[in-house]
Amino acid sequence: MNDDFILLAHGAGGKKSADLIRGLFLKHFANPTLNALGDSALIEGGSRLAFTTDSFVVDPIFFPGGDIGKLAVCGTVNDLASAGAKPIALSAAFILEEGLSFADLDRIVASMKQASEEADVSIVTGDTKVVARGSADRVFITTSGIGLLSDEREPPAPNRASPGDAVILSGTIADHGMAVMAQREGIRFASEITSDCAPLYGLVGCVLEASPNVHCMRDPTRGGLAATLNELAAQSGVCIEVGESEIPVNEDVRVACELLGIDPLHVANEGKMIAIVPADDAEDVLAAMRNHRYGGRAQIIGEVRESPAGRVHLRTAMGSLRILDTPSGDILPRIC
């Protein structure tokens, strides 16, 4: 750790986030379960469980396609799903700022109920605190989740990508980040950009049925596709190569990113899943994704290579190869 103070960039999912986790939290909390650095911790007991927790501070709290409540439920469900776990219970803790309207809180809680019903999981416990006006930003939510793992298969894990594997993405990137950015800044485009926020266990269930050998899954949230692929490449000790032309981006999102000088590969998503599977299973997994409501634009975007280990390469539309690095700063703060 080379910084003396916490910066917004430490929460962006890029290099400084990794420095914070490895240089401070792991220094004090290190244990075999945490050291795996998955989206969910895998816990062995009477049953095989996955456990995850996350906090949500998005600004604004309402945006096209969702709100902080829907985001909190979907984010936790998707972290469990990326471990191949069926969500079975959630908790929700609220920090409310004095002055938040009951109408807004009711709308948020109703949205959480709707999202949890779609994900077929209940919110079974929680907590509420109220802080003085000016001490928070309307509402922050922390959710935790428990999921049940199958006893019949090795769960997907960030260190299991193998040379020859195919890399599959469930749909278009950067929708969530640009929807929140446009709403926050009052930017208007020809058509409204809508967040992709969605609970993905149903999609993941289809993937697991299509292939008994799913090696990795991860939802590319903070730091976007670039950060997530770099995490997987580093933890698996492999090189991941993806094609720029194969990565789907909605045209309005592409235009918005170009106007703002933002790379869509670095923008957060909240309703997409990456699956890394053996090449022989790739077409079956792709078909399973495309048959699900949240995977209609799924694509095989690349493959896993042996070296250089820990690197991600992007084959550009012109045919050249360049390093796709993790974003170093906070491009879009408070996006989730």
- Taking all residues of the chain, what is their mean pLDDT, rounded to a whole number? 93
Whether 192 and 319 map to the same domain: the answer is yes
CB of 249 within 8 A of CB of 301?
no
Whether 195 and 128 map to the same domain: the answer is no
Nearest Cα residue to 205 out of 116, 306, 292, 303: 292
Confidence of residue 45 (pLDDT cuts 50, 70, 90): low
Whether 110 and 192 map to the same domain: the answer is no
Is 202 strand, coil or helix? Answer: helix
CB of 208 within 8 A of CB of 264?
no
Whether 177 and 130 map to the same domain: the answer is no
Whether 186 and 290 map to the same domain: the answer is yes
Alpha-carbon distance of 72 to 57, in angstroms, equals 9
Radius of gyration of the chain (CA): 19
Please report, as a single letter, which amino acid is at residue 184: R
Helix (H) or strand (E) holding 128: strand 123-131
Whether 183 and 138 map to the same domain: the answer is no
Which pLDDT does position 263 carry in this prediction?
Answer: 96
Per cent of the chain over pLDDT 90 is 78
Residue 276 belongs to domain with CATH number = 3.90.650.10
Number of domains in the chain: 2
**pTM strictly above 0.75:** yes
Cis peptide leading into residue 60 (ω within 30°): yes
Residue 12 has pLDDT above 80, yes or no: no
Cis peptide leading into residue 308 (ω within 30°): yes
Task: Using DSSP bridges, classify how beta strands 86-97 and 123-131 pair: parallel, antiparallel or unpaired.
Answer: parallel
Residue 85 belongs to domain with CATH number = 3.30.1330.10
Q: State pLDDT tens for residues 119-177.
A: 999 999 999 999 999 999 999 999 999 999 987 789 999 999 999 999 999 999 999 99
Domain ends where: 148, 174, 203?
148
Whether 76 and 170 map to the same domain: the answer is no
Whether 79 and 177 map to the same domain: the answer is no
Q: Which domain holds residue 292?
A: 166-323
Question: Which residue in this structure is represented by tokens 């004095």?
Answer: 98
Which pLDDT does position 1 carry in this prediction?
Answer: 65
Which pLDDT does position 6 carry in this prediction?
Answer: 83
